[in-house]
Chain A
Amino acid sequence: MSLELFLVLASALFCVGLFGALTQQSIVMLMMGLELMLGGVILAAGAAWHYIAPATADGQVLIVVAITAMAVEMAIGFAVVTALFRSREIDMTDMAAELRE
């Protein structure tokens, strides 16, 4: 196992996530794409810590902070989506176009 392999895996995850975020119209699928991209980033960060500076704990802390922030973001996102769906039965981005103009 080596750093390159992890970075390849992380970039593959990020690309899959980006593709999902760009192509999907369903909000749930779109948010799954975002999760995948963040997962890729966190994987790359963890690999970089492990292979470059394993002695210090700062990298780990940083990664935990990023994961926490991601979890909170996603929770808020899903809360908004749930609220939208409950009030107007919206589950696709095209249907939530009322902020246009």
Chain B
Amino acid sequence: MSALLWTLIALPLGAGVLLALAGRRADRAAPLVAVGVSASTLGLAITASLRHPAVEAPLMEGLPFRIAVEGLSGVLVVTVTAVTLAVLLFSVAEFGAHEARARFFGLMLLFAGSMLVTVTATTLPTLLMGWEVMGATSWALIGFWWREPERTAAADTAFLTTRAADLGLYLAAGAALAAGPGPLSLDGLASLDAPWSSLVTAGILIAAIGKSAQLPFSFWLSRAMQGPSPVSALLHSAAMVVAGAYLLLRTGPLLDASGWGADAAAWVGAATAVALGVVAVAQTDLKQLLAASTCAQIGFMVLAAGVGATTGVALQLMAHAAAKSLLFLVAGAWLTAWGTQRLPELRGAARAYRTVGVLCTVGALSLAGLPPLSLWAAKDVLLAGALEDSSWLYTTGLAAAVLSAVYSVKILRFAWDRPEPKPRDGQPIPLGAVAPLTLLALACLALTPVAFPPLRDALSKYLGTQGQPSPLVWEFALSGGLTFAASAVAWGWGTRRVPLPGRLKAGSENWLVLEWAARVLLVSPTLRIARAAAAFDDQVLDRSVEASARGTLKLARWTNRLVEGAVDGAVEGVATASRRLGTWARRPQTGQLHQYLAQAVAAFSVIAVVLVLVR
């Protein structure tokens, strides 16, 4: 049992590290190895999700490394590994042979492994380890084409933003430790005392909305689109961005216990779902549109995590992972074929490659939440939980659902428009790339019945969350009708420009100028303070040190000139005088006895004269 779980995380982590370290030597073998590892990881994940293993290893004093697969993490483990496999299969066919494939596949595996650690962790330190490796690998993957400065700059922005939010997790861990020593298990956080539980809640909330690209951190996801499309398909649809929502769901009891955390999460999610929905509608770049829609869709999950609708989140998570990674991969395939991801230039792309076009349609319709596809029912399940909490939340959620229909249909309207574009460099989409797309589209369809009883009840039982509110017929009808109407209007509007008031439109196209705001409010003041500190360092500290050194030097020269000369001269003078005296004293010592006698006679005569005179 324990070997199963250890292998589950060690296999992708180990293979990823080895591949990434091997460098270009392993380029030829890398795809095969990665797909093999990924497939076996999927098998292990499915086994693990059925068997519910749990393992523990000593890490620090009183803080063990503890991971377990149960309920929600079982769903996530399977979702992550399945999407990883699909994305890697796509990358094998699509990722050019001249690219650094070993690094790419190694980092992807490393990322998947750290995501597995994150979702299986049951204590805060373990979660932090996975969380940090995940952030670092996402940076390396977004900046994969590191020779282009704008891509590395985008990676830096994404990394810095999520990293800044990650500090919340450290705050939470610190506060939990301060409240009482213990293994810091995620389930035990709810029983903390009053002041500490609020701190822990705040920390976890910040870390989660940062990782999930919720308001106000959404802008990093826009920049992250500079990475390769398979990276976006894995990181920015199924794995990294859902980690935040997952964390909120795991710590649901804590959010409830803190008294304000649950409402805050729900409203942040709702606001993101609506605001980023508008952003997505305004985008003209396919990947940017998908990124904004990811924020919006994860907003639904965060909302549901706030109101505790676990089954709804699990449904939404699986269905969204399948649909969104499908769409991202389609965008990647189109980018390779036409060299562009701007919607106006992709006009009629679906007509040129019918198979890909149909698959894209399945994904987009699923994302739109059109009945009877999975996301429609999933949204209703989680909105039923919101309705129980507050009708305002429900209304906001419905508005966001309408928006998701609008932007999804927008993709289709452009893709199926006439006339067909001429393939620019005539690169056909390889067959090997179509296969994983088909798998993902089938997954979209296959997830539909899971959202309805009796499969939904089975899922609830698996998650251990029976007795959650289930949507009534009128809710299904209302959301379905609204979605249909919105889709029809969006299709009818066609490829004309989005009818939004000027400033709102400009703001939406710019992702609500969030990045600008972050720059003005946080980055610039920090830089200014840093510059001021540097100036203080240069002008005051540095200069005072220099001045003291110069003063010392001057004092030393003055001492040398005045005092040293005198002392030196005195010593020299004494030496010279002694030498002269010595010479004089040596002169009478001739060794001649008669001369000594003469000297004695003279001396005694003088003494006699003196004695006589003195007396």
Which residues does chain A contribute within 8 Å of B594, judged by CB atoms?
22-25, 93
Q: How far is the CA of A25 from the CA of B593 in the complex (A)?
A: 9
- The answer to whether B592 and A21 have CB atoms under 8 Å apart is no
Q: Which of B546-600 contact A (CB under 8 A)?
A: 590-594, 597
Tally of A-B residue pairs with Cβ under 8 A?
18
A57 in contact (CB, < 8 A): no
Which residues does chain B contribute within 8 Å of A94, judged by CB atoms?
592
Which residues does chain B contribute within 8 Å of A22, judged by CB atoms?
593-594, 597
Write the nearest CB–CB distance from A15 to chain B, whole angstroms: 14
- Of A23, A93, A100, which is within 8 A of B597 by CB? A23
Q: How far is the CA of A100 from the CA of B593 in the complex (A)?
A: 14
A61 in contact (CB, < 8 A): no
Which residues does chain A contribute within 8 Å of B593, judged by CB atoms?
21-22, 93
Q: How far is the CA of A94 from the CA of B597 in the complex (A)?
A: 14
**A interface residues, tally (CB under 8 Å):** 9
Q: How far is the CA of A21 from the CA of B592 in the complex (A)?
A: 11
A1 in contact (CB, < 8 A): no
Where chain A touches its partner, the secondary structure class is helix
Write the nearest CB–CB distance from B615 to chain A, whole angstroms: 29
Q: How far is the CA of A97 from the CA of B590 in the complex (A)?
A: 9
Q: Which of A85-99 contact B (CB under 8 A)?
A: 93-94, 97
Least CB separation from B600: chain A residue: A22
Which residues does chain A contribute within 8 Å of B590, judged by CB atoms?
97, 100
Q: How far is the CA of A24 from the CA of B591 in the complex (A)?
A: 14
Which residues does chain A contribute within 8 Å of B597, judged by CB atoms?
22-23
Write the nearest CB–CB distance from B582 to chain A, whole angstroms: 13
Q: How far is the CA of A22 from the CA of B600 in the complex (A)?
A: 11
- Contact flags (1/0) for B593-613 with A, using CB distance below 8 Å? 110010000000000000000
- Contact flags (1/0) for A8-43 with B, using CB distance below 8 Å? 000000000000011111000000000000000000
Write the nearest CB–CB distance from A79 to chain B, whole angstroms: 21
Least CB separation from B598: chain A residue: A23
Which residues does chain A contribute within 8 Å of B591, judged by CB atoms?
97, 100
Q: How far is the CA of A94 from the CA of B592 in the complex (A)?
A: 7
Least CB separation from A25: chain B residue: B594
Least CB separation from A94: chain B residue: B592
Write the nearest CB–CB distance from B604 to chain A, whole angstroms: 14
Q: How far is the CA of A21 from the CA of B593 in the complex (A)?
A: 8
Q: Which of A64-98 contact B (CB under 8 A)?
A: 93-94, 97
Write the nearest CB–CB distance from A28 to chain B, whole angstroms: 14
Write the nearest CB–CB distance from B605 to chain A, whole angstroms: 16
Which residues does chain B contribute within 8 Å of A21, judged by CB atoms?
593
Q: How far is the CA of A9 from the CA of B24 in the complex (A)?
A: 125
Q: How far is the CA of A24 from the CA of B592 in the complex (A)?
A: 10
Residue of A22, A23, A97 contacting most chain B CB atoms (<10 Å)? A22
Q: How far is the CA of A22 from the CA of B593 in the complex (A)?
A: 6
Q: How far is the CA of A97 from the CA of B591 in the complex (A)?
A: 8
Q: How far is the CA of A22 from the CA of B594 in the complex (A)?
A: 5
Q: How far is the CA of A60 from the CA of B520 in the complex (A)?
A: 130
Write the nearest CB–CB distance from A20 to chain B, whole angstroms: 10
Q: How far is the CA of A100 from the CA of B587 in the complex (A)?
A: 12
Which residues does chain B contribute within 8 Å of A100, judged by CB atoms?
590-591
Which residues does chain A contribute within 8 Å of B592, judged by CB atoms?
25, 93-94, 97
Residue of B590, B594, B597 contacting most chain A CB atoms (<10 Å)? B594
- Contact flags (1/0) for B419-438 with A, using CB distance below 8 Å? 00000000000000000000
Which residues does chain B contribute within 8 Å of A25, judged by CB atoms?
592, 594
Q: How far is the CA of A93 from the CA of B593 in the complex (A)?
A: 9
Write the nearest CB–CB distance from B421 to chain A, whole angstroms: 116
Which residues does chain B contribute within 8 Å of A97, judged by CB atoms?
590-592
Which residues does chain B contribute within 8 Å of A93, judged by CB atoms?
592-594
Least CB separation from B593: chain A residue: A22
Write the nearest CB–CB distance from B596 to chain A, whole angstroms: 8
Write the nearest CB–CB distance from A78 to chain B, whole angstroms: 19
Q: How far is the CA of A76 from the CA of B592 in the complex (A)?
A: 21
Write the nearest CB–CB distance from A19 to chain B, whole angstroms: 9
Write the nearest CB–CB distance from B589 to chain A, whole angstroms: 9
Q: Which of B397-430 contact A (CB under 8 A)?
A: none
Q: How far is the CA of A24 from the CA of B594 in the complex (A)?
A: 7
Q: How far is the CA of A15 from the CA of B594 in the complex (A)?
A: 15
Write the nearest CB–CB distance from A23 to chain B, whole angstroms: 6
Q: How far is the CA of A76 from the CA of B590 in the complex (A)?
A: 24
Least CB separation from A23: chain B residue: B594
Q: How far is the CA of A19 from the CA of B400 in the complex (A)?
A: 141
Q: How far is the CA of A93 from the CA of B592 in the complex (A)?
A: 7
Write the nearest CB–CB distance from B601 to chain A, whole angstroms: 10
Which residues does chain B contribute within 8 Å of A24, judged by CB atoms?
594
Q: How far is the CA of A45 from the CA of B433 in the complex (A)?
A: 141
Which residues does chain B contribute within 8 Å of A23, judged by CB atoms?
594, 597
Write the nearest CB–CB distance from A83 to chain B, whole angstroms: 20
- Contact flags (1/0) for B139-151 with A, using CB distance below 8 Å? 0000000000000
Q: How far is the CA of A25 from the CA of B591 in the complex (A)?
A: 12
Q: How far is the CA of A100 from the CA of B590 in the complex (A)?
A: 8
Write the nearest CB–CB distance from B414 to chain A, whole angstroms: 117
Write the nearest CB–CB distance from A11 to chain B, whole angstroms: 19
Q: How far is the CA of A80 from the CA of B74 in the complex (A)?
A: 124
Residue of B590, B593, B597 contacting most chain A CB atoms (<10 Å)? B593
Write the nearest CB–CB distance from A31 to chain B, whole angstroms: 13
Q: How far is the CA of A25 from the CA of B597 in the complex (A)?
A: 12
Q: How far is the CA of A49 from the CA of B597 in the complex (A)?
A: 34
Q: How far is the CA of A97 from the CA of B593 in the complex (A)?
A: 12
Least CB separation from A99: chain B residue: B591
Write the nearest CB–CB distance from B587 to chain A, whole angstroms: 12
Write the nearest CB–CB distance from B259 to chain A, whole angstroms: 108
Least CB separation from A24: chain B residue: B594
Write the nearest CB–CB distance from A84 to chain B, whole angstroms: 16
Write the nearest CB–CB distance from A21 to chain B, whole angstroms: 7
Q: How far is the CA of A23 from the CA of B596 in the complex (A)?
A: 10
Write the nearest CB–CB distance from B592 to chain A, whole angstroms: 6
A-B contact pairs, 5 of them (CB 8 A): A22-B593, A23-B594, A23-B597, A97-B592, A100-B591
Please name 6 further chain A to chain B contacts, defined as beta carbons within 8 Å, in addition to the given A22-B594, A97-B592, sorted by A numbering.
Answer: A21-B593, A23-B597, A25-B592, A93-B592, A93-B593, A100-B591
Enumerate the 7 nearest inter-chain pairs by beta-carbon distance, A residue then B residue, closest first: A22-B597, A23-B594, A25-B594, A22-B593, A93-B592, A100-B591, A94-B592
